[in-house]
Every structure is written in C-alpha cells, then in structure tokens.
Amino acid sequence: MNGTKSSPYDKGEGDGIFTMSRGLQAFYDVDPHSMLRGMSTQKVSDADLQRFSVWSDGGVRDLFNFAAVATHLSGAISSRRTSDGHAIQPVAFYNGFHMLPGEDITSPDNFSPALIRWADLAGAPSLRYGTVDATPAQIAQGDGQHVGTGAQILYRLEAAFYYVAHQWPDADRIVTNLSKEKYETVSPNVLCDSSHLDTCCESVGHCETPFTGVKSGRTGPIAITLPPGYANEDNRLRNVRYPVVFVLHGYGQKPEDLEALQIISNNFMNDTSRSYENRLGKFIAVYVDGRCRQGTAPNGSQTGTPPGQPECIQGGFYLDATRPQGALFDTWFDELVQYIDKNYRTMPPSDVTVTE
C-alpha cells in the first residue's frame, strides 16, 4: 500500500508494498481453512470438498485454542453451498463425546466408540470436549485442556481411529487367532533395519527404523504397526490388503511418543465382543517424524540440509522449507508413502456402496 515505506510495520523489502513472506504463504497453501477462504494459491473445488471427510476436535480450554480453530474450519466448510443453498459438505457440532449419535447422553463417562452410529454423522463433524462450567478440581485434572483428562485423551484417540476406519467399509474386520501370528514368538523390542524393514516388521508386528528419502536426502525415525492378521498365512495367500493411517505427532513430540496407540487400535480390531459391523476396521498405522533433525543430505546437494547442520529450530508443520537447504518434510513424507505402498499390502482406491 502507498505510504507504508515509512511505517514501522513494513519489515520486508522496504518498498512500501505488502509482500507475504514465503514461509507464511507456504503454510497458507496447505492449510485447509486458508484453501477454503481463498487465502491459498491452491484451489478447492466443490467436487474436491465432497471427496473429503473431516473430523476435528478441540478442548474448550485448549491453550492453542484448537476448539476455536476447529470451529473456524467447520465454518469455512459450511460456507460452501450449492446454487440452491445446500451444503457441499454438511457440518455438525457435538458438545461432548456422549452427544455423538448412538451414545447415552445421560452417561458422559461411559463412552464406547463401537456404539456410535457413524453413518449418522455429518460429513465434517466437530467435537468440543470439556465441561464449560468445570469445577477447580476438574480443571486441575486437565478438563478441556490441550490434551484433556485421562478419559478425554482415551476418548479422543478411540473416536478418531473409529472415524477414520469408518471411511473404509470394505476393510478387513475378521477376528484373528493370535496364536497363529508369526510375531507372537518374536521379541517386540527388535529394531528393524531399513534394508529388510518389510519382512522384519511382519515378523514382529511393530517396528521402528530410520527412514531416508532419496529425493529429500532426509533421515527421520518412523514407527509402523501392522494389524492383527497381517502376518497370517491365509491372509497373505489371499492377498488381503489394508488401508493406511499416517499418524502425525504434535508440537514437542516424536513418533515414539505415540506408539502406545497400537494397544488401543489392535485391541479394538480384534474385539470378539463386537459384531463384524461394529468392530474397528483393520489398518496399518505409520507414525511419522516431524521434528527438526541434523541434516543428512549429501554435501553439494542442491536440496536438503547438509550433514551437521540443523534442519530448522523446532518444527515445520510437515512442510518443505522455502529457504535453500532447509528441511524437506513434505518431500520426505511423500517418499515414505511410496515406500509403504511398495513394501506392504496396502489397500488401493476402491469403489464401495454406501447406503444412505
């Protein structure tokens, strides 16, 4: 704008013109809310929006205001309408896990994701957890905060996994006889070498390894959990394939911090007390690295961070840096996806019949 050259707020080129920083623009380009609001160079068509199912949650006292952020995203989704005023992707808000369809609204402490009528949820449900008028004791326990109470943490994980698995109605839900699983006889603490990660991980059922991308030149730790039945000889001969859930850790965490989730997910996948329809669909879980590491790209490489230099300061939202020799999280992530598809029995795109 005219006259901004003398403004103390023009911290850029000093040319009096507002210029978006490259880093912020890179964030806007992949941020869903920015895409829907036209702040991104990426365009989201109505057909694109219809393809996505969006689950969001946030605590009412989250220090990062995730409940408010989720509300803003839901509002942007809801604002997209057809010419006759119908929502492209319906949105609904739920104030507590017990308010989800199928749950007992009189028993907020008895949440069971297997009881939820997932087909009755809107395409983009948003859940707010935490008691608005909480007592000091509830607040001290973490009620409605960034992570939540112990119960709220568990409910968030269970609900998210079930919601994701519901997107694959044709996923395997057959109970597995664990006594026939190969990895039952192998120590679960084996660190698999990347050169034979697929066979090693199948033998163990869960593995950790450094993963190096060829294009990105980046090395970061990953963890992989295979579902019950993956190593079953019959499933291998029948070429049973599984969807993949990539789990991204939050600020200050690392992939290893989320590995305990395998206990939750695998138990629900093999729950004999539930019917086939109400059992959690089986999927491969891959825990992805998003921390700043020491560079591992070869010296002289035009991309990636050279050895001995830090990629960044704290993290990069899983994005490629805009500066030369910065962290290439996104490129590395793409390579990881390709590696998983190549080395594991992953489910390809499929057509399914959904009964309204």
Q: What is the pLDDT of residues 241-251, one digit of tens each?
A: 999 999 999 88
Residue 184, pLDDT score: 39
Residues 133-153 have a mean pLDDT of 95
Asked whether residue 131 carries a pLDDT value surpassing 60, the answer given is yes
- Give the Cα-Cα-Cα angle 142, 147, 152 (nearest 5 degrees): 75
Phi, psi of 208, deg, nearest 5: -125, 145
The H helix count followed by the E strand count for the chain is 10, 7
Q: Tell me: the pLDDT tens digits for 98-114?
A: 999 999 999 999 999 99
Contact by Cβ (8 Å): 310, 295: yes
Confidence of residue 174 (pLDDT cuts 50, 70, 90): very high
Task: Report residue 126 as tokens.
Answer: 């948003």
The model carries a pTM of: 0.88
- 8-28 burial code (b ≥16 CB/10 A, e <16): eebeeeeeeeeeeeeeeebbb
Pick from 14-18, 284-288, 291-295: least confident: 14-18
Asked whether residue 142 carries a pLDDT value surpassing 70, the answer given is yes
Pick from 64-78, 177-191, 231-245: least confident: 177-191
Asked whether residue 187 carries a pLDDT value surpassing 60, the answer given is no
Residues in the chain: 356
Residue 213, pLDDT score: 95
Q: What is the DSSP letter of 15?
A: S
Asked whether residue 10 carries a pLDDT value surpassing 50, the answer given is yes
**What amino acid is encoded at 68 in this protein?**
A
Residues 217-241 have a mean pLDDT of 92
Residue 301, pLDDT score: 81
Residues 11-25 have a mean pLDDT of 77
Confidence of residue 202 (pLDDT cuts 50, 70, 90): confident
Task: Report residue 237 as tokens.
Answer: 């001969």
Give the residue among 71, 41, 38, 42 at the shortest CA–CA distance from 54: 71
